[in-house]
């Protein structure tokens, strides 16, 4: 190829030669070419003392071509992967250089909610550090994530999260999970509302329905490509967007198998037509790619009050470069955690939720809304009595969905986040095991949580 032509192509795409190496990191690629999905950087961890994982995480403004006021963790958006191991103790020093108060929530970890644990009552002022420290007991393996969770400063968390303060956590399993070898990718799904090169403070409508951005980003880039070289592609997805719901399906209508939700392996793999991720949720899928032609994972619009997109479009290109050998089979069973026993539930509760209110009340961090007996289990009927969807998230304790609108659940999964359509009544079984202390249940449309759509649980 004539080098001048090549240069002209690059200039036409708005990139000089010197910027080529940044293509993956910035999301800019040659016209017609999709950027490769960037691998996430990993947060360095010091394991010189056995059983202890030490790390330092700084949140600060980040220079990026995406927007002029991005924030990043450890100089990166999305934040670096925090790779942990079941059974170890984490000692993480969080340093806040964002210019406003902040803190950290470890979404999905089942750890001590008090003291220096996953305690959202902690406030770290601008310029200060705080050392989080807690044990990571077995049962925490899987994909989780971290983000700010500050109360009493309405809007700060929602604004910071949209500006880029999101990062994945992967807790490695002590035992192999039995799934066949695969190209294993973590996908951080996020969106940003950018106007004139800036992310603005949310507006009235954002506070009402939750804020969706028009820029859809996967590991920080738009419409990436994944080259698959093994017979299976394993995607671990986390929805870190403030309010966007994601429905993803292969454009060739080929097979897609769900193996985990919210970090926990399902009891058995389940073929599905599409991936559904409400805000906060995670899903893991296995996709057989051996001998399969290239396809796209299509983004399908989700109809809810406040959704921005109305048409389907290709979000991620999958390009198999795999010989047409048969893919090894998936195991028929995955995990055997004890099923929730409704007969053993100590108590049932009705929990109506509506815009900003849980059980008719706005958040008050000094009040306990749900006193529960430590070690007991309960069945809650979450009732969406509102006109819009609300994704409900529980800190510290996982739950099983038992029945939706009276119909028993067919899938066995352990969750920390689930969506409720208007009018839905969802029975969930919660085991308040392992920890005592105060924790939260809230809507994960972050603008709702920020305005007080949260309630306090205390296990004592």
The residues binding ligand C2O (CB under 6 A) are: 105, 107, 147, 149, 280, 393, 395, 440, 442, 444
Partner residues linked to 246 by β-bridges: 277
CA distance 180 to 172: 16
Q: Considering the complex, what minimum distance in angstroms separates the CB of residue 121 from Cu ion?
A: 21
Q: Is 445 in the site for Cu ion (CB under 5 A)?
A: yes
Q: DSSP code of 78?
A: S
Q: Is 443 in the site for Cu ion (CB under 5 A)?
A: yes
| Residue 443 interacting partner from Cu ion, ligand C2O, none (CB closer than 5 to 8 Å by kind) | Cu ion
CA distance 206 to 214: 13
Q: Considering the complex, what minimum distance in angstroms separates the CB of residue 223 from ligand C2O?
A: 26
Q: Nearer Cβ to Cu ion, position 300 or 390?
A: 390
CA distance 67 to 362: 34
Q: Considering the complex, what minimum distance in angstroms separates the CB of residue 4 from Cu ion?
A: 55
CA distance 330 to 308: 37
CA distance 234 to 265: 13
Number of residues that bind Cu ion (CB under 5 A): 4
- Beta sheet of 225-228, edge-to-edge order: 225-228, 313-320, 295-300, 246-250, 275-277
Which residue stretch of 12-20, 81-89, 167-175, 440-448 sits at the interface with Cu ion (rule: CB under 5 A)? Answer: 440-448
Mark residues 369-408: x for contact with Cu ion by CB under 5 A, - for none.
---------------------x------------------
Q: Considering the complex, what minimum distance in angstroms separates the CB of residue 393 from ligand C2O?
A: 5
CA distance 264 to 280: 14
Burial class (CB in 10 A: 0-12, 13-18, 19+), 406: exposed
Q: What are phi and psi of 161, to 5 degrees?
A: -65, -45
Cis previous bond, 78, omega within 30? yes
Q: Considering the complex, what minimum distance in angstroms separates the CB of residue 403 from ligand C2O?
A: 25
| Residue 445 interacting partner from Cu ion, ligand C2O, none (CB closer than 5 to 8 Å by kind) | Cu ion
| Residue 390 interacting partner from Cu ion, ligand C2O, none (CB closer than 5 to 8 Å by kind) | Cu ion
Q: Is 448 in the site for Cu ion (CB under 5 A)?
A: yes
| Residue 414 interacting partner from Cu ion, ligand C2O, none (CB closer than 5 to 8 Å by kind) | none
Q: Considering the complex, what minimum distance in angstroms separates the CB of residue 395 from ligand C2O?
A: 6
């Amino acid at each position: 190829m004539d080098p001048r032509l090549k240069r002209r192509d690059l200039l036409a795409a708005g990139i000089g030669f010197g910027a080529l190496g940044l293509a993956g990191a910035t999301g800019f690629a040659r016209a017609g070419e999709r950027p490769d999905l960037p691998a996430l950087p990993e947060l360095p961890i010091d394991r010189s003392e056995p059983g202890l994982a030490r790390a330092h995480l700084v949140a600060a403004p980040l220079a990026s071509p995406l927007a002029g006021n991005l924030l990043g963790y450890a100089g990166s958006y999305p934040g670096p992967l925090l790779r942990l191991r079941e059974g170890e103790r984490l000692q993480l020093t969080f340093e806040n250089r964002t210019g406003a108060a902040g803190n950290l929530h470890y979404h999905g970890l089942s750890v001590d909610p008090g003291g220096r644990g996953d305690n959202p009552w902690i406030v770290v002022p601008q310029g200060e550090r705080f050392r989080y420290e807690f044990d990571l007991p077995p049962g925490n393996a899987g994909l989780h994530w971290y983000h700010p969770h500050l109360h009493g400063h309405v809007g700060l968390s929602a604004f910071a999260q949209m500006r880029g303060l999101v990062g994945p956590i992967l807790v490695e399993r002590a035992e192999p999970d039995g799934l066949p070898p695969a190209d294993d990718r973590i996908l951080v799904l996020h969106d940003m509302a950018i106007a004139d090169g800036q992310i603005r403070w949310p507006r009235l409508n954002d506070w009402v329905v939750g804020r969706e951005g028009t820029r859809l980003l996967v590991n920080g880039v738009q419409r990436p490509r994944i080259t698959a070289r093994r017979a299976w592609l394993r995607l671990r997805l986390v929805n870190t967007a403030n309010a966007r719901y994601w429905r993803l399906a292969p454009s060739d209508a080929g097979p897609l198998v769900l193996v985990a939700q919210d970090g926990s392996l399902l009891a058995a793999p389940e073929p599905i037509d599409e991936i559904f991720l409400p805000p906060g949720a995670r899903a893991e899928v296995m996709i057989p790619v051996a001998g399969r032609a290239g396809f796209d994972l299509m983004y399908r619009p989700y109809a809810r009050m406040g959704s921005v997109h109305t048409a389907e479009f290709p979000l991620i290109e999958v390009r198999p470069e795999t010989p047409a050998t048969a893919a090894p089979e998936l195991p028929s069973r995955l995990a055997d955690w004890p099923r929730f026993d409704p007969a053993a539930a100590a108590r049932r509760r009705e929990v109506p939720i509506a815009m900003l209110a849980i059980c008719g009340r706005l958040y008050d961090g000094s009040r306990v809304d749900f006193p529960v007996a430590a070690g007991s289990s309960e069945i809650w009927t979450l009732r969406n009595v509102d006109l819009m969807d609300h994704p409900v998230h529980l800190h510290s304790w996982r739950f099983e969905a038992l029945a939706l609108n009276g119909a028993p659940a067919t899938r066995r999964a352990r969750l920390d986040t689930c969506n409720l359509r208007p009018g839905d009544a969802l029975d969930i079984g919660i085991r308040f095991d392992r920890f005592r202390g105060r924790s939260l249940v809230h809507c994960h449309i972050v603008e709702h949580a920020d305005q007080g759509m949260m309630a306090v649980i205390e296990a004592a």
